[in-house]
Amino acid sequence: MFDIRKDFNCCKTVSCKNFGVENSEDYVYQSKRLGYLSIECKACGSNPPWINNQLIENILKEKLDFHFARKITHCRHCYSHFFFNEKNRSQLHGFTVAGTQRLKCKNCQHVYSETKHKNVEAITQVLQTIIDKLDINSAIRKTGLSARLYYFYLEKLSLLLTNFSRLKEQEEINRDSLSLQTEGKVVHLNHKRGFYTLLTAEADSGYILLQTTNLTKVELLEQDIYNSTENTVIKDAFANNIESEIKNHYQQTLHRKHFEKLLIGELKAINHCNLIYPNKLVYVHFSLLRGFIKKAQHYSHYIELESSIRAAALMSAHPEIKAGKADIFYYLPFLNNQEIIKNRKVGWWSDRWHSFDKGAYSLLTDNKQNQYPFKMTDTEQLNRYYDYLDTHLNKSLNSFNTITNLSEIHRVLFNFCYAQDDKSTAMQFGVANHIYDEMSLLSEAMTYKEYTGE
């Protein structure tokens, strides 16, 4: 059902004959030649770090169920996840005793009823506490709900908004060509808590399609739990020209124990969950993005200059890259770029860089007849959402459920309610024709239906 890669231990050098190939004779599995566990490709001499495939699969399942599960509408037997399953057809099938519309799935004959949302008042109150940026304790007090009920309605709210946004996105995503943009960020909370988050937007509009975090409830081995105090996040060097800036970024990568060793400094544990290493989350995140690109004839992916993101982006899009249907670009924003560089080899990997007015980019895939050149007009879109999240997410949060639900709620609120130059990203993306206020978004989300019959 899910067209998602399972084995990430293979060569990741695009120009190598083993690129993306599973079980090549040229591989040395679990090699320690360079002092860390890796898979060695003898054909190109590369040693990408060893990936625990089972770990990725377990986390993927958890994130898939949270970000894409169909919990409100449709036949759950045939259509468990947005984007990853074909939509089921249904026919009207009378009413329940309570007067709710029943539907019968044409595929499996399963009868189900439309969800009726009860206690609208409570859900509305919870939303108001989020708009007011209250900390959880004050929020619970303000609503007069018990803690248990507050969390219950918070989850309902998150589910409702996610469902609404996924329905809308689904209508819009069937494009022939699609451009995505991805960056990773660290979100800091009080008491040295925090998490790593990967953000992906549709690149033309800045509409945030997916925001995953490295928080997990999946049981982990000690070695897989993030516990580093080291910080290897690539920092801007503020060099005087774009080429030095690119070089500096590569140099910082070379100082790592291995290129994909992305560490995010000391982060204290959050209740009821663990943090995984960012370079594991990237494989999960990019696997989930396959849901969006599945139907595109061509897609471009713009990613930040970060080796671990590069590896995951290349692996996830491997079939499309091979078929010449996907182009992956690095980009590096550079304020007031004055210089022009063209096809300049920079860094240990000899990536070829080109300048544009907002920085520079490099095509990582090897597409000779590239009909879809680099076309990025706004490099600040993900920063804008990150800044929004940083100011709207209450810093005293300390549990898996609140952080993940609130992150998802904010993704939707940002897309539909937040205006930049009189337009929301949802309007730019084509899923809204006006800027919503939060309450009208909620009431539309509660009643929004897609046409499911014939």
- Does 44 participate in binding Zn ion (rule CB under 5 A)? yes
CB 234 within 8 A of CB 249: yes
Among 8, 10, 18, 314, binds Zn ion (CB under 5 A): 18
Among 2, 4, 13, 124, binds Zn ion (CB under 5 A): 13
Please report how close the Cβ of residue 364 comes to Zn ion at its closest, in angstroms: 15
| Touching Zn ion, residues 181-210 (CB under 5 A) | none
Any alpha helices (H) in 69-194, and if so which ranges? 120-131, 136-143, 147-172
| Touching Zn ion, residues 274-333 (CB under 5 A) | none
Q: Which is nearer to Zn ion, 28 or 108 (CB)?
A: 108
**Residues 115, 130: Cα–Cα separation, whole Å:** 24
Q: Which helix (H) or strand (E) holds 410?
A: helix 400-417
- Where are the strands (E) in 15-110, listed by range? 27-31, 38-41, 90-95, 101-105
**Residues 304, 379: Cα–Cα separation, whole Å:** 10
- Does 11 participate in binding Zn ion (rule CB under 5 A)? yes
Please give the size of the binding site for Zn ion, defined by CB under 5 A: 15
Amino acid 185 reads: K
- Does 111 participate in binding Zn ion (rule CB under 5 A)? no
- Does 53 participate in binding Zn ion (rule CB under 5 A)? no
Q: Which is nearer to Zn ion, 14 or 186 (CB)?
A: 14
Amino acid 408 reads: E
Among 4, 14, 37, 43, binds Zn ion (CB under 5 A): 43
- Does 363 participate in binding Zn ion (rule CB under 5 A)? no
Dihedrals φ, ψ of 391, to 5°? -90, -20
Query: What is the distance in angstroms between the CA of the first residue and the CA of the last residue of the chain?
Result: 24
Within 8 A by CB and 6+ apart from 409, the residues are 130, 157, 158, 161
Binding mask 89-108 for Zn ion (x = CB under 5 A): ----------------x-xx
Question: Could you tell me what percentage of the chain is helix, strand and coil, using 3-state DSSP and rounding each to the nearest 5?
Answer: 35, 20, 45
Please report how close the Cβ of residue 369 comes to Zn ion at its closest, in angstroms: 24
CB 84 within 8 A of CB 288: no
Q: Considering only CA atoms, which of 56, 7, 12, 66 is closest in space to residue 321?
A: 12
Amino acid 257 reads: K
Please report how close the Cβ of residue 315 comes to Zn ion at its closest, in angstroms: 13
- Does 110 participate in binding Zn ion (rule CB under 5 A)? yes
Among 6, 32, 77, 116, binds Zn ion (CB under 5 A): 77
Among 51, 55, 75, 427, binds Zn ion (CB under 5 A): 75
In the block, residue with structure tokens 């409830």: 217
- Does 78 participate in binding Zn ion (rule CB under 5 A)? yes
- Does 16 participate in binding Zn ion (rule CB under 5 A)? yes
Q: Which is nearer to Zn ion, 19 or 436 (CB)?
A: 19
- Does 41 participate in binding Zn ion (rule CB under 5 A)? yes
Please report how close the Cβ of residue 83 comes to Zn ion at its closest, in angstroms: 17
Beta bridge partners of 354: 361
Q: Which stretch binds Zn ion (CB under 5 A): 57-65, 82-90, 153-161, 202-210?
A: 82-90
Q: Which residues bind Zn ion (CB under 5 A)?
A: 11, 13, 16, 18, 41, 43-44, 75, 77-78, 88, 105, 107-108, 110
